[in-house]
Structure 1
């Protein structure tokens, strides 16, 4: 009796084949096998939101392999990932198998496991279930909503703003978050304020004198607020009034406090910490976690190192908690002094505070806490190790005792003022011995220690002074803080956060500058249009409510058709009404020439303000450019030369310049231009560099300008030992290596480009021309490299002397090693099938440069054309 077991990834298929033995055939679907037709009408609201699916071209050969294996199998087990997407893939596979005459009557069940370990897989296989319709319905509803929004709202943007733009059900509210934060920053008016401080010390006969500081909290009986002192004169008057008075301790408060460990990782918190602690993007964090989940050969065989990484649960299985507690007791509570200190009396339990959280799965954890990071380091890539270590430590810390602090606060009277000094001391690290969570935009000043202060004692006044401060605008979003905001607002699901971030960058709606998101001009225009004309569909509460309804569908509490009907009825009327609106978005000020409304619009040169009375009125003005803006704005002196650095306005945009522009010499009467001597062209030109269009002019600093003027510069060394340069030229910023130039993507920042990203750009296939190719990995047959390139006939993968074209509907950027091997196998099968009379050649048995071996008779399935 044979069983066909279907998973999503080929690496997981290899691992499970080893676990289950010869009576199981394990094949991969390579993700989704069907999707909605890529055209309008794939979802039909007039007929119960019927959906027209089609096979994904890239995966047709995998479906063929599954159907063929299904014909020979007695039973089919659908072991796709344990989430909504996985449930939907299982349903699509079952539909395909049931629709095939030879497999229609095969017993078919769903199996689910949350970690790729032998025990978990075998337990799942022994306990199969049916495909859950509510999960499938929820995924279908989500996909239908995304399709309806994209195929109806995006064309409006093409007509009213610019071709090629897109709107999305989740993408657009996320963009609004970034744009509104930028608007907050632009509106922000900084305010000056002062804080007043006392420096003192306490001498001790046994120890050296200990210095400390205190902050004024009360003045003349009133509480000191942030804006109690708003200028230098005001604070100076208070300091003068305090001079000459003694300092006396009037109150001392002591307390103990504890700090509890953060819960184990969810998808969202893993992405946030990946950005903060490891400097990885959300996308790279998830890709690396996927590899750890699917399995790594750690010497004793291939095993999944972490549980499933798409989850918003913070709970752990009882067995995992028991193993973790045993590890803590053995490794931390082993000395008489520490006995029972690091291990709490009962397991720590956590509740998820995120909007729309589901508790169906476990948190992300190591599959075994005994598999320490050091024990597997030699088997992991550097990124895999760093991520696994972080997951391992966070999980371990989550079940440890709280950290304990002693805190003290002392009030010190000086004249009519009261100063407060605070401090805390860590007396027991608890979980902090293993792991401490990072934060964005920290405001704490760390731990401070105070000497032992006693109520009633006098202290010396070493110094009284004021400190000037200015209020700061809210910070721009980082990847981590954006993910946190998406979670808090209930926008999207944890599994979609990385793709949301990537889509906003790919669409060039935002740029990541100094690790913070800034909206581009087109991003602001798209957001403004949607807020003005389709506000409900970028409303945070509306988006969160819709997510909650989708969660209700997945739980079987809500029927998906009424949800779709309610959405579509209002959405369609909104979209239909947009046909009559004028292009762009209205601005508050009327046209200075004719008095009609002015709209903000987009052109190939950027945003501009244009009169709606066109063509009768031809008023236009570039957006964001002040007509009274000085031609040259000084930014400061360049440190090495002492020359002034300017931000200048030219006919083709802004640029920075080192030094003054030499004046043109007086023209000699009667001299021809060509015969002029000593004209400006003969004088040394000041060094110039283009200002990046995506970087706001108001953010221009001397440091940025000096950096641009320093280009080109070497940013590292290529693996071949030759330098890699970063520069800026006629066609924008670029990287250069060994005579090869590659332009930066619009989402790359010239100020932050690192060597790793430069190597990625240099290895990417060149559009429209030949390329030496990006190495994807080694072929398992002979260890020779497989490369991704582009040539006269389009993108391809290459192995030795064999070239396999990448299908036109496939993005070359999505081709990984496994996909490349499949393309090569299909090409070999086609070529050898032609030579053997159309007989299929099994790619697994294909020779290396030799003759093909036949694997079937003359009635085999035709080889798929390349």
Structure 2
């Protein structure tokens, strides 16, 4: 349904005016919101299903075109501005509940880019080693001992002012919650992440769980929201511009955990938007103004996080099945990942349409939710399992009879075909080798058939894209010239992965492989000439040798876009990078950046070699303070210790105490 909404969506353009204004030398941004007694149309004033302005009787909304916006801007720059209204509103926020399975999967997807399957695999490993509680749960309840441990840790790390007035306890609001287990939290010793000996995504997931849990026992965040309206006269009435600011009065739990952000400290700074000291009636100076152009966007696709949130809300699935539901639709190619979005495929479309037409009850979310509830009742012993299963499979309207009845009505040819309302002359089929289309030219009845490019989503099909595909098919291979080195011909072709450059004609020996390189995204295939084709054929392009390893660094294009690679270390190029022009310096800059999104500790002081192992001992600063590191052992440095006075001898004592408490060390000693 969501993808079809995107297909029906009609984009609309609208314009506005953004100004930079200043008071006593302090600048801030303001945007046009009203003209006379009319409100300026913005994105929310358009129907997201059609992209058109929502029609209302006696509408007080005005849609600016570019000429209107330029006129308002010109007058606003010339005339005097003043503050017309100020509104200050104190607000507070409470911390989110501790993690349950669904929220852990959602946050790991948003913060760390992990799939639900990978999140559960990592959490399983942490649970099996005793680092966290059971990870398949829908309960937000924390045990009294966990609450006590959390509160002690908050007081130690942040001080008593950051503790909530009393212990916070949470109750589940999820539909069908069973609450058989405690919330997901660290084990009772609440060992800080930097002392766990973890690395990579394991470290990131544990840190996220640890931070979220202690945040539950922290004080509310208090903020002051400031809303300011400015006015400037125009020939069409006063133009009202709006500015908003926000000041954090007390960060509270935000010191430890901010949903959707990696670094709480960084996020606090990003959240604050300061405005100068303003008073109603006071003049302000316009520094500059610009016309802004906007385009409405279709409804966003589901991410894994959003899909799991929907499943939980509708009561579909349980903590133990969320990850497998998402993995199944991906593994069966019903949808593919594109960045963080789940994009339905043509295969997903035909399967969904077949089931919706012949088995509507089975794909109804309410039916699935009711079935889940019945299965819960069976698991709890409230109803016997055999009568329910017998009715489900063998009843008058059971699955066996439905399949027998509908099987006779299914037309195989119809079942693998798709028709789209906005593309009357197009038929799409899903075949053994992927999706393909048949386009009928109404002017002469000519039918064009060809495969659809890999990665093309159903909602990407429109009149323009179809005409381009048809034109490419009719055009066939385009000869671009000859390679001066090999003297082989160069062709521009279109295949299942889109346009590509081919060096050489089809060989007599089918085992002989020709060089083929995809045309990088952002390059119009129609603009490719011999010179550009030769540059594309250089991919994977050698940039140089790594100064440390002496191994090659190359730039190329893969299925997920352009990248640089060194010894299987792949780094995606950014939007501003050009794979044909990226150089060695830029590649080294990308390799220098840490992989992943989690925060990493910094070395603050090298203390020297450990007297027993001769391995280095270092002091590092992590998100929660200073700690000492030796090989795989980390130990927190007491707060009262100063970095400049901390010695190797003190570090050795702390490390020995930590190793003595380690279960691994104890078992080895025994």
Query: TM-score range with shorter-chain normalisation?
Result: 0.5 to 0.7
**Could you tell me how far apart the structure 2 residues matched to 1:309 and 1:235 are?**
54
Offset, 1:291: 1.5
Partner of 1:494: 319
Q: 1:428 and 1:582, CA in 2 relative to 1: closer, same or farther beyond 3 A?
A: same
Residue in structure 2 matching 1:526, options 351, 354, 367:
351
Q: Deviations over 1:538-582 (max 9, x none)?
A: 222222222222223333444434443443333333311223321
Bigger shift: residues 237-246 or 323-332: 237-246
Distance (Å, rounded) in 1 between the aligned partners of 2:101 and 2:110 = 14
Alignment of 1:197-208 (within 5 A): 197-203=18-24
C-alpha change, 1:283 and 1:600, in structure 2 (3 Å) is same
Counterparts of 2:500 and 2:534 in 1: how far apart (Å)? 9
Equivalent residue for 2:231, pick from 413, 417, 422: 413
In the alignment, what sits opposite 1:424?
246
Mapping 1:254-653, distance limit 5 Å: 254-295=88-129, 304-333=130-159, 340-377=160-197, 380-415=198-233, 416-438=238-260, 446-568=271-393, 569=395, 570=397, 571-576=399-404, 577-583=406-412, 584-585=414-415, 587=418, 601-608=429-436, 621-622=449-450, 626=466, 629-631=470-472, 650=494
Contact 1:248 1:459 in 2 (8 A): yes
SS, match of residue 195 in structure 1: strand
Relative to structure 1, is the Cα distance of residues 221 and 341 closer, same or farther in structure 2, using a 3 angstrom cutoff?
same
The alignment covers a number of residue pairs equal to: 489
Output one character per residue of 1:700-758: Cα deviation in whole Å (capped at 9) or x when no partner.
999xx9998664368999x9986697978xxxx7xxxxxxxxxxxxxx74668988998
- Please show how residues 17-96 of structure 1 align to structure 2 within 5 Å: none
Structure 1 distance, partners of 2:101, 2:308, is 10
Residue in 2 that maps onto 1:655:
499
Change (3 A) 1:330 1:446: closer
Following TM superposition, by how much is the alpha carbon of 1:430 offset from its aligned partner in structure 2, in angstroms?
0.8
TM-score (norm 1): 0.50
The answer to whether residue 8 in structure 2 is matched with residue 187 in structure 1 is yes
More strand by share: 2
C-alpha distance 242-606 of structure 1, shift in aligned 2 (>3 A): same
Residues 185/219 of structure 1: CA separation in 2 closer, same or farther (3 Å cut)? same
Residue pair 2:355, 2:363 contacting (<8 A) in 1 also: yes
CA distance in 2, matches of 1:267, 1:245: 57
How many angstroms apart in 2 are the aligned matches of 1:363 and 1:721?
Answer: 49
- Where 1:331 maps in the other structure, the secondary structure is helix
The 8 Å contact of residues 133 and 187 in structure 2, kept in 1 or not, is answered as: yes
Aligned to 2:667: none
Query: Separation in 2 of the partners of 1:200 and 1:651?
Result: 53
Q: Residues of 2 paired with 1:285 and 1:520: CA distance?
A: 24
1:425 CA drift (Å): 0.8
Q: How do 1:28-177 residues align onto structure 2 when only pairs under 5 Å count?
A: none
Higher Cα radius of gyration: 1
Say if 2:107 is the partner of 1:238. no
With the length of structure 2 as denominator, give the TM-score of the two structures.
0.63
What residue is the counterpart of 1:61 in the other structure?
Answer: none
Taking the aligned partners of 1:406 and 1:699, their CA distance within structure 2 comes to: 52
Distance 1:754 1:492 in 2: 40
Partner of 1:215: 31
Inter-CA distance 589–308: structure 2 relative to 1 (3 Å threshold)? closer
Give distance in 2, aligned partners of 1:579 and 1:700: 48
How far residue 450 of structure 1 moved from its aligned partner, in angstroms, is 0.4
5+ residue gaps, structure 2, are 46-61, 440-445, 453-464, 477-489, 506-513, 571-670
More displaced stretch, 181-190 vs 491-500: 181-190
What secondary structure, in the 3-state scheme, does the structure 2 residue paired with 1:215 have?
Answer: strand
C-alpha distance 626-198 of structure 1, shift in aligned 2 (>3 A) = closer
Deviations 1:750-788 (A, max 9, x none): 6689889989xxxxxxxxxxxxxxxxxxxxxxxxxxxxx
Which string of whole-angstrom CA distances, capped at 9 and with x for unpartnered residues, describes residues 167-191 of structure 1? xxxxxxxxxxxxx433333332211
Change in 2 beyond 3 A, CA 1:270/1:588: closer
- Residues of 1 paired with 2:357 and 2:331: CA distance? 24
Q: What is the CA distance between 1:480 and its match in structure 2?
A: 2.4
Question: Cα–Cα, structure 1 residues 533 and 560, in superposed 2: closer, same or farther, change >3 Å?
Answer: same
CA distance in 2, matches of 1:230, 1:289: 52
Q: For the residues of structure 2 that align with 1:699 and 1:485, how far apart are their CA atoms?
A: 40
Inter-CA distance 557–605: structure 2 relative to 1 (3 Å threshold): same
Moved more, 554-563 or 452-461: 554-563
Contact 2:556/2:562 (CA < 8 Å) preserved in 1?
no
CA distance in 2, matches of 1:540, 1:529: 16
Q: Look up the SS of the partner of 1:511 in the other structure.
A: strand
Check the 8 A contact 1:236/1:466 in 2, yes or no. Answer: yes
Shift of 1:457: 1.4
- Shift in Å at residue 306 of structure 1? 0.6
1:229 corresponds to 2:63:
yes
Shift of 1:452: 0.9
CA deviations on 1:237-287 (whole Å, 9 max, x unpaired) are 333454533222122111211122121111111112222222333222211
SS in 2 for 1:321: helix
